[in-house]
Amino acid sequence: MASTTVTVGSRVGLHARPAGLIAEAAGELDSEVLIGVPGDEPVDASSALLIMTLGASCGDTVEVSGENEADVAAIAAMVAKDLDA
């Protein structure tokens, strides 16, 4: 299982718009990708609602994991960007 730790880049954290964009991208992948706050249960990255339940703010660290390394890297790159710009 591939896993990477990334810092949330969106100014508003993983809230509505960033979560929606990440979920849309994750839903188009061929493998399941999970996002989680260290120490908590990870959630399905293809669900904007579940991503928002993490309560991750700008600058927080989250872990992105999944079976496909390229898919994990793609979602991790999105988490690191300011998607609310």
> Which of the residues are catalytic?
15
Query: Rounded to whole angstroms, what are the CA distances from 28 to 24, 38, 67?
Result: 7, 25, 15
Q: Which of 2, 16, 8 is nearest to 62 (CA)?
A: 8
**CA 25, CA 60: separation in Å to the nearest integer?**
21
**CA 47, CA 59: separation in Å to the nearest integer?**
21
